[in-house]
């Protein structure tokens, strides 16, 4: 969800009761426990979110294997999945972003990116148009417009748990990989999407993510309910959250462009596209 949209609906979430935090589960040699707390989520919703975070760990891990080799950023910027969204000179900032996102999916490795995940009830204003999720962009010390200081939330809408593009999991076994990649040449981006893609997009909006990744502060002007504030997370360029918009940001000449790595969907789309291209043996993933 766009930052401006979030600011118009955030007041509807003030004062929501907290649920008990989810228990981490073991997954082979890694413990991936995601947020500090799950709020108002059923056991089934927590399980689905944990699965999506495990997939987020996987789609950020694959490029990191090339971003950091013996302390050197050796990622090839000519790879099409990267070239769709970023420039050669963006590599260091993209690498820093992926280190923070990788850690955010597994805070046992780093607690720098702090957040809670809240499961929204039916009828929340921010979910009325079919949105999948939205994020509180405020710094943790921000106070105003009904917000108090504290850990910020990624709010997951009911549609997240029903849409095929967010309930789909990344494949693990060879049989699952074969099914996922079947007819790969004719599949489009949305047919490979998973919940990990959406959570990565939303987590990148967090101020704590931007601080961990070394992003510069950006100013959010005062609105109807909130005073102005500075934050370090990503934005949605032109208030559009699509891979195509990320590609236009990289290749276009608009005068109001932000940095490619400041656009949430550029990070999310690249991570999924690179994983799919690598695992399915594709040169390109068409939109």
Report which of 265, 214, 268, 246 is spatially closest to residue 56, judged by C-alpha positions: 268
Please, are residues 119 and 41 in contact by the beta-carbon 8 Å criterion? yes
Report which of 81, 10, 144 is spatially closest to residue 286, judged by C-alpha positions: 81
What pLDDT does 2 receive? Answer: 55
- Dump pLDDT digits (tens) for 137-148: 999 999 998 899
C-alpha span between 141 and 213 (Å, rounded): 19
Give the residue, 224 or 166, on which the prediction is more confident. 166
C-alpha span between 248 and 7 (Å, rounded): 26
- Dump pLDDT digits (tens) for 233-286: 999 999 999 999 999 999 987 788 899 999 999 999 999 999 999 999 998 999
Beta bridge partners of 147: 144
What pLDDT does 70 receive? Answer: 61
- Name the band, by pLDDT with cuts 50, 70 and 90, for residue 206: very high
What pLDDT does 25 receive? Answer: 34
Q: pTM value?
A: 0.88
Report which of 142, 123, 139 is spatially closest to residue 131, judged by C-alpha positions: 123
- Name the band, by pLDDT with cuts 50, 70 and 90, for residue 26: very low
CA distances from 44 to 10, 47, 140 (A): 25, 5, 29
Give the residue, 9 or 236, on which the prediction is more confident. 236
What pLDDT does 49 receive? Answer: 96
Mean pLDDT (the chain) is: 85
- Dump pLDDT digits (tens) for 171-180: 999 999 999 9
- Name the band, by pLDDT with cuts 50, 70 and 90, for residue 72: low
In the block, tokens 């010390």 appear at: 141
What pLDDT does 255 receive? Answer: 80
| pLDDT(222) > 80 | yes
Sort 171 into a burial class: Cβ within 10 Å, 0-12 / 13-18 / 19+.
middle
What pLDDT does 125 receive? Answer: 79
State whether the Cα torsion 65-55-78-187 is positive or negative.
positive
| pLDDT(85) > 90 | yes
- Dump pLDDT digits (tens) for 92-119: 999 999 999 999 998 666 568 999 999 9
Residue partners of 140: CB distance under 8 A and separation at least 6: 114, 149, 150, 151, 152, 207, 208
Set out the domains of the chain in order of their start, with CATH numbers: 3-280 (3.40.390.10)
Give the residue, 194 or 225, on which the prediction is more confident. 194
| pLDDT(48) > 70 | yes
């Amino acid at each position: 969800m766009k930052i401006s949209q979030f600011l118009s609906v955030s007041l509807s979430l003030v004062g929501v009761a907290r649920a008990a935090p989810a228990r981490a589960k073991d997954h082979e040699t890694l413990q991936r426990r995601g947020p500090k707390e799950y709020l108002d989520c059923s056991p089934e919703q927590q399980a689905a979110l944990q699965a999506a975070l495990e997939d987020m760990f996987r789609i950020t891990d694959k490029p990191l294997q090339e971003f950091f080799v013996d302390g050197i950023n050796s990622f090839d910027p000519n790879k099409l999945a990267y070239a769709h969204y970023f420039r050669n000179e963006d590599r260091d900032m993209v690498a820093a972003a992926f280190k923070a996102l990788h850690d955010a999916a597994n805070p046992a490795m780093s607690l720098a990116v702090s957040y809670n995940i809240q499961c929204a009830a039916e009828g929340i204003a921010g979910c009325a148009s079919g949105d999948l999720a939205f994020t509180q962009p405020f710094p943790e010390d921000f106070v105003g417009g009904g917000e108090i200081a504290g850990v910020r939330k990624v709010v997951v809408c009911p549609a997240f748990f029903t849409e095929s593009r967010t309930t789909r999991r990344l494949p693990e076994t060879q049989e699952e990989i074969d099914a996922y990649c079947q007819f790969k040449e004719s599949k489009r981006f949305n047919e490979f999407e998973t919940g990990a893609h959406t959570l990565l997009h939303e987590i990148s909006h967090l101020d704590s993510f931007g601080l961990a990744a070394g992003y510069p502060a950006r100013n959010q002007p005062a609105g109807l309910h909130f005073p102005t504030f500075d934050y370090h997370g990503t934005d949605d360029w032109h208030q559009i959250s699509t891979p195509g918009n990320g590609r236009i940001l990289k290749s276009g000449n608009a005068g109001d462009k932000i940095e490619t790595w400041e656009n949430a969907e550029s990070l999310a789309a690249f991570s999924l596209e690179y994983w799919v291209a690598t695992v399915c043996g594709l040169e390109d993933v068409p939109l």
